[in-house]
């Protein structure tokens, strides 16, 4: 079976992505899943994609109870005795978290209580209302990143910097003191060289290797006589500037699709039929581009849409009818399924009825080699 991951963008409050705390990687992954869920409560923002998360309940006092599969924080790793789940929980419960904006500062515990059901493989998490509110607070801006990339990162500083630079284009500057506070490292890596080597350099190496979003950086030394007093050799490094960059070879096919206009992937006749006959808005086409692009590769999508159009236009939800019909046809006739955000193909079952109308518009032809 072949698999193609469908990327899912997560939007995280800028306040929450710059919290002052030092968490282990499993605790960071648990936070990622909590932020993903918090977005369902945000109105006015359009979040695509499904999740294996069971439920979210917000109580009368604002505390949130969340049920999440333990596997969601493992990134494919084995954890038969649930030691990593317990590490994630203890990492969050054992420390308080600080965050602030222009008007207030607050320090609070993140989780009120956690139960791990080893038989069902689930975690039931009760989140403090103040933390839940911070996850929902988009008033000071937000960061976008791909959840699948974030979860697979192994280094906790790789993850923290990834969330800062992902989808960004402008340079971002922090003082070394700010980064120490933000990452909970005020008492670790006392030498600036050690701090840079073990956080920034290590993060850059991993992001360059596996992430579509990485960074270059520059260091700025202080010119202050007071700061450099009794300092031998070079002046003290006090600031770092991150320069976000894209690493095309690490981009997933689905992420690349999202950056392309659907008209680059679908024939004009297909686009016209979707919009003028079946009532698709541009946003709806874009949201379903993975399904539509896969269908166009496997069979004559235009003829298929013409055939189902009469039934689709009579359906209560025309767009839903169309997408479900395409998925069913892909599964039954071409061995292609969409399972929990993953395209799964069975080569033995694939029987192309015809090439797409303009084979030169395939994703590989447009993008060329990523070598």
Instruction: Report helix, strand or coil for 201.
Output: helix
pLDDT for 42: 56
Encode pLDDT of 284-309 as tens digits: 888 788 788 888 888 899 999 999 99
Asked whether the beta carbons of 361 and 267 are under 8 A apart, the reply is yes
Q: Which of 12-16, 107-111, 248-252 has the highest mean pLDDT?
A: 107-111
pLDDT band for position 1 (cuts 50, 70, 90): very low
Tell me what pLDDT residue 218 has: 93
* pLDDT band at residue 48 under the 50/70/90 scheme: very low
pLDDT digits (tens, 9 = 90+) for 100-114: 667 878 777 778 888
The structure tokens listed for 360 are 């030169």
Q: Which of 43-57, 137-151, 162-176, 355-369 has the lowest mean pLDDT?
A: 355-369
Between 317 and 78, residue with greater pLDDT: 317
Q: What is the CATH code of the structural domain delimited by 8-145?
A: 1.10.10.10
Q: Which CATH architecture has domain 153-254?
A: Orthogonal Bundle (1.10)
Highest mean pLDDT among 10-24, 125-139, 168-182, 325-339: 168-182
pTM of the complete model: 0.52
Compute the average pLDDT of residues 264-282.
Answer: 87
Q: What is the pLDDT of residue 168?
A: 83
User: What per-residue confidence (pLDDT) applies to 186?
Assistant: 85
| Strand residues in 70-134 grouped as ranges (E) | 96-100, 105-109, 111-117, 122-127
Band (pLDDT 50/70/90 cuts) for residue 40 is low
Please, where in the chain does CATH 1.10.10.10 lie? 8-145, 153-254
Cβ contact 207:215 at 8 Å: yes
Q: Nearest 10 degrees: CA dihedral of 26, 27, 30, 31?
A: -140
Q: Measured between alpha carbons, how far is 228 from 217 in angstroms, rounded to an integer?
A: 22
Give per-residue pLDDT as tens, 219-230: 988 766 555 565
> Rounded distance, CA 195 to CA 182, Å?
13
pLDDT at 360 over 50: no
Whether the predicted pLDDT of 46 surpasses 80 = no
Q: Tell me the β-bridge partners of 125.
A: 66, 114
Maximal C-alpha separation, the chain: 82
Interacting residues of 41 by C-beta distance below 8 A, sequence separation 6+: 56, 58, 136
Identify the pLDDT of residue 199: 95
Cβ-contact 132, 64 below 8 angstroms: yes
Q: Give the residue among 27, 26, 31, 55 at the shortest CA–CA distance from 41.
A: 55
Looking at residue 314, its pLDDT comes to 92
Mean pLDDT of the chain: 75
pLDDT value at 202 more than 90: yes
pLDDT for 364 beyond 90: no
Cα of first residue to Cα of last residue in the chain, in angstroms, is 24
Q: What is the pLDDT confidence band of residue 253, given thresholds at 50, 70 and 90?
A: low
pLDDT-derived band at 127, boundaries 50, 70, 90: confident
Structural tokens at position 190 = 């006392």
């Amino acid at each position: 079976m072949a698999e193609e991951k469908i990327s899912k963008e997560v939007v995280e409050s800028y306040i929450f992505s710059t919290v002052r705390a030092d968490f282990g990687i499993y605790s960071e992954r648990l936070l990622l899943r909590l932020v993903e869920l918090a977005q369902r409560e945000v109105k006015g923002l359009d979040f695509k994609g499904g999740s294996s998360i069971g439920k979210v309940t917000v109580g009368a006092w604002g505390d949130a109870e969340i049920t999440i599969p333990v596997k969601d924080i493992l990134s494919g790793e084995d954890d038969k005795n649930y030691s990593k789940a317990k590490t994630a929980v203890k990492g969050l419960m054992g420390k308080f978290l600080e965050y602030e904006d222009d008007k207030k500062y607050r320090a609070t515990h993140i989780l009120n209580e956690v139960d791990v059901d080893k038989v069902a493989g689930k975690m039931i998490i009760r989140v403090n209302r103040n933390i839940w509110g911070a996850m929902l607070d988009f008033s000071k801006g937000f960061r976008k990143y791909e959840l699948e990339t974030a979860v697979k990162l192994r280094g906790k500083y790789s993850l923290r910097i990834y969330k800062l630079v992902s989808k960004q284009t402008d340079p971002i500057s922090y003082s070394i003191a700010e980064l120490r506070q933000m990452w909970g490292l005020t008492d670790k890596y006392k030498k600036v060289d050690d701090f840079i080597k073990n956080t920034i350099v290590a993060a850059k190496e991993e992001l360059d290797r596996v992430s579509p979003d990485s960074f270059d950086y520059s260091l700025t030394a202080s010119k202050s006589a007071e700061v450099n007093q009794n300092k031998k050799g070079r002046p003290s490094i006090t600031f770092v500037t991150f320069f976000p960059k894209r690493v095309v070879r690490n981009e997933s096919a689905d992420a690349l699709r999202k950056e392309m206009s659907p008209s680059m992937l679908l024939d004009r006749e297909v686009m016209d039929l979707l919009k003028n006959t079946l009532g698709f808005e541009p946003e709806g086409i874009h949201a379903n581009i993975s399904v539509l692009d896969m269908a166009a590769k496997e069979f004559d999508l235009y003829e298929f849409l013409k055939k189902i159009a009469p039934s689709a236009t009579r359906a209560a939800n025309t767009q839903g009818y169309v997408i479900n019909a395409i998925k069913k046809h892909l599964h039954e006739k071409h061995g292609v399924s969409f399972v929990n955000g993953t395209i799964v193909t069975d080569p033995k079952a694939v029987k192309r009825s015809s090439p797409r109308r303009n084979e030169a518009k395939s994703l590989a032809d447009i993008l060329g080699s990523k070598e």
